[in-house]
Structure 1
Amino acid sequence: MKFPSPDTVHPVRFPDGTSLPNNVFLKAVIDHPRIEVGDYTYANDFDPPAAPSDWASRLAPYLFPNSRDRLIIGKFGQIAHGVRFITHDANHDMRGISTFPFAIHDPERFSGYTDTLPRGRDTIIGHDVWIGAEARVLPGARLGSGVIIGSGAVVGGEIADYSVVVGNPGRVIRSRFAPEVVERLLQVAWWDWPIENILEHEALIVGADITALEAVAA
């Protein structure tokens, strides 16, 4: 089986050999000091950035090289059209009477503006997370592994592993599996296997027989 390496820019290829420009492995295109992306996590957008290097600013437009928080995305993530990670530098200082950011309009104070904002925590996305079209992930959100975020959802806070979240504000409508099954899946952690083992047992990973998956765990 031919499978692209995680440093492939456009990993989806058609039988005629042409690639799908809408789809990228993010690890191959993002070189940003405040963003970390795991292997095989992809983004797909019907209006992709003009240059592959622009994906960082497309997905996290308020995360700058001098930002104090980070965006960390796990392995095998699936990020749909229009998703945005709204990080802490999108905030305005709300401790005073006005929230107007006067400093960003003054070149001498622009670079220091973020230092005046309250320190925010990192935004962390687990492994095998599917984020639906036009969803918004708020500053400091922590999404567990196996989470599904519905289209258009606005999600913040802590989301437990294998939860399904919809709506604005985002709410957990169900867990994909019973708690004991979630714990077993986290123990299996198939996303950490060598890619050869993952491909060999693809049918089990996308199937529903957890016992069989445990039996072949690397």
Structure 2
Amino acid sequence: MTGLHGPDPDRPYPMADHRRVCFIKNFIQSPNIIVGDYSYYDDPVDPEGFERNVLYNYGSDRLIIGKFCAIATGVKFIMGGANHKLDGISTYPFPIFGQGWETEIEQVMNLPSRGDTIVSNDVWIGYESLIMPGVRIGDGAVIAARSVVVKDIPPYTIAGGNPAQPIKQRFNDTEVAQLLEIKWWDWDRAKITRSIHLIMGNNIQALYDAR
């Protein structure tokens, strides 16, 4: 095992025996999507097509995904480009179809934005969940399968449902504060490899002491 320091995050498919899992950052083309090292998408049919799950991505808002996130098959992100005008009588986007309706194009420009959508580090998002614009999912959070996330989820919280609600906090407040201070995902590969047994274990104090 000497000299082995974990997989290369720049390798698109980290598992040699199959290609259902990819490190997402290697397949991103849009400048509005930013993905950290080791975050992966698991899809038995089209893992490299993750970017197609980022819907209505033609505004100024960004999707930012941290490091070491696990994103299951069919997870989708709705971006701010999906917004329609809400302060008029009709929400229909008449001007985009032209033919005389384009005279009111200013009414569908610069619609209110909820800002960037942020998935922090070490987040697990379950099968076919839907993440709405402008939410922030905290470090270490878990989103249950087929959840619809419409508001921020605190760090190290398990959330689920439609709309997603906190189910329980994974650790107590003191432990969560320690984990947010440790930020093990920012360690170098060699240190992470040496500390795998602590990162995967449940002795937070031992991991804190190893920081």
Which residue of the partner structure matches residue 171 of structure 2? 177
Which residue of the partner structure matches residue 69 of structure 2? 77
CA pair 39-102 structure 1, distance change in 2 beyond 3 A = same
Q: Percent identity?
A: 40
Tell me if 1:10 matches 2:5. Answer: no
Q: Deviations over 1:65-112 (max 9, x none)?
A: xx1111111000000000001111112111111111223333996x98
Amino acid of the structure 1 residue aligned with 2:86: M
Task: Provide the secondary structure at the position in 1 that maps to 2:207.
Answer: helix
Amino acid of the structure 1 residue aligned with 2:33: I
Q: Is the CA contact (8 Å cut-off) linking 1:39 and 1:76 kept in structure 2?
A: yes
Task: Provide the secondary structure at the position in 1 that maps to 2:168.
Answer: strand
Q: Map 1:1-218 onto structure 2 (within 5 A).
A: 1=4, 3-14=6-17, 20-48=18-46, 52=48, 54-56=49-51, 58-64=52-58, 67-106=59-98, 115-217=109-211
* TM-score, reference length from structure 2: 0.90
**How far apart in 2 are the matches of 1:141 and 1:25?**
23
Task: Provide the secondary structure at the position in 2 that maps to 1:139.
Answer: coil
**How far apart in 1 are the matches of 2:190 and 2:163?**
40
CA pair 114-34 structure 1, distance change in 2 beyond 3 A = farther
CA pair 213-114 structure 1, distance change in 2 beyond 3 A = farther
Amino acid of the structure 1 residue aligned with 2:92: F
Which residue of the partner structure matches residue 17 of structure 1? none
Q: CA RMSD in A?
A: 2.0
Q: Is the CA contact (8 Å cut-off) linking 1:135 and 1:151 kept in structure 2?
A: yes
**How far apart in 2 are the matches of 1:158 and 1:103?**
33
Task: Provide the secondary structure at the position in 2 that maps to 1:103.
Answer: helix
Deviates more, 1:189-198 or 1:20-29: 20-29
Q: Is the CA contact (8 Å cut-off) linking 2:5 and 2:189 kept in structure 1?
A: no
Q: Deviations over 1:180-216 (max 9, x none)?
A: 1000011111000001110111011010011111121
Give the number of aligned pairs. Answer: 205
Q: Is the CA contact (8 Å cut-off) linking 1:142 and 1:156 kept in structure 2?
A: no
Amino acid of the structure 2 residue aligned with 1:95: D
Amino acid of the structure 1 residue aligned with 2:50: W
